[in-house]
């Protein structure tokens, strides 16, 4: 799982996803609790979606 998928699965939103030349740019935002879930997922190397809704990771767009 890549880091952007981990951020999404933790409840964060990708607000910028683009490319300029060979560089790719992606920005995420979210609540403090989403950041805490993300940090814990990175520490453990896994992501478990929060809440009762099932989340599906959407692949990052390539422009």
How many folded domains does the chain comprise? 1
Within-domain flag for 28: yes
Residue showing tokens 């799982």: 1
Taking residues 24-51, report their average pLDDT: 86
Residue 28 domain boundaries: 3-44
Contacts of 41 (CB under 8 A, 6+ apart): 6, 9, 10, 47, 48
Cα–Cα distance, 26 to 28 (Å, whole number): 7
pLDDT at 46: 64
Q: Is 0.75 topped by the overall pTM?
A: no
Within-domain flag for 31: yes
Within-domain flag for 37: yes
Within-domain flag for 61: no
Nearest to 5 by CA among 55, 63, 62: 55
- Res. 33: pLDDT tops 70: yes
């Amino acid at each position: 799982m890549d880091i952007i998928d981990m951020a999404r699965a933790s409840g964060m939103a990708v607000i910028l996803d683009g490319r300029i030349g060979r560089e790719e740019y992606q920005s995420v935002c979210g609540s403090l609790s989403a950041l805490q879930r993300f940090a814990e997922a990175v520490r453990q190397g896994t992501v478990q979606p929060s809440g009762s809704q099932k989340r599906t990771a959407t692949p990052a767009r390539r422009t």
